[in-house]
Amino acid sequence: MAIVQESVFIKLTEQQTLHLRRIADNSNEAGPAVFFMHGAVENGKIFYTHSNKGLAPFLAEQGYVCYVADLRGRGQSKPAISKHADYGQTEAIIEDIPAFIAKITEREGKPPAYWVAHSWGGVLMNSVFARFPQYINDVKACAYFGTKRSLYNHHPQKYLQGNLIWYFLAPILAKKHGYLPAKKLKWGSDDETKKSHYQSMQWAKRKPWIDSDDGFDYAQTVASLTLPPTLHIGGVKDKALAQQVDIEKFIEESGLGVQKLQMYGKQHGHQFDYDHINMLTHPSAKLDQFKDLLAWFEHHSIAS
């Protein structure tokens, strides 16, 4: 068995190229495909390293064919975000993610059977299901790590990272630079466009889940949908960005389908007290949430 990584590029427009990282066991190329979506101020590297650490290589070892996306301007998608980048999360939902799904389907001969997201990536995925409900029947199960839409918790770190940084300082810096230089500021592993920051900031403020471009009502649409069975994974030390109450509120607005929330930390019998990032990067994750995610996928593979 050898886990092999390959970059797949998608020419979205004359100016924009999207990147997918395909990670698979070269002795088992026929396994089900998994689509991975990162969150805000991030890129796909949250799910893998080039030395085959992380969730995507772990699933590849179990026979899955993994496709990790970099949204427009992030990671190896080119050109990188700059003051000239005028796109936001609307474009991610209606253009980028459908282009990723189409490329995976073209490469594998079938659409991805499982979707995995970190943080804001889960909001984008549910938004895609709202816009394109035809995807729902193709997906056997989802798993979202630390995903919330709006912040409900009152922890001091939430007021620092949410209110002070994301709502107050970030808009000032985005206006000054023409984009949010989050990587340089060490606020994340990648930058964010001015539009994308503005749109995600509006949704995180508990305001209606409505698209600022065309008024599409995600909340109303999702409420009537039965989304794929979704495992929500939270970390007990994720105090600012996705506490249990925040994830529970997101579950409430995520339609009629089967959803399960599991918190990960020593108090629940796990190896480590996980936070927003190391729930995907800590070596012990293989023994805790990665193992449970695998069981979730296997159960719903049989159930479907």
- At residue 303, the pLDDT reads 55
Q: What is the mean pLDDT of each run of 10 residues along the chain (304 residues)?
A: 94 95 89 97 98 98 97 98 97 98 97 98 98 98 97 91 91 97 96 97 88 97 97 97 96 96 98 97 98 97 67
> pTM of the prediction?
0.97
Q: How many CA atoms lie within 13 A of 81 on its CB side?
A: 31
Helix (H, G, I), strand (E, B) or coil at 10: strand
What pLDDT, on a 0 to 100 scale, did the predictor assign at position 205? 83
Secondary structure element (H or E) that encloses residue 33, with its range: strand 33-37
How many angstroms separate the CA atoms of 191 and 59, rounded?
Answer: 28
pLDDT at 289: 98
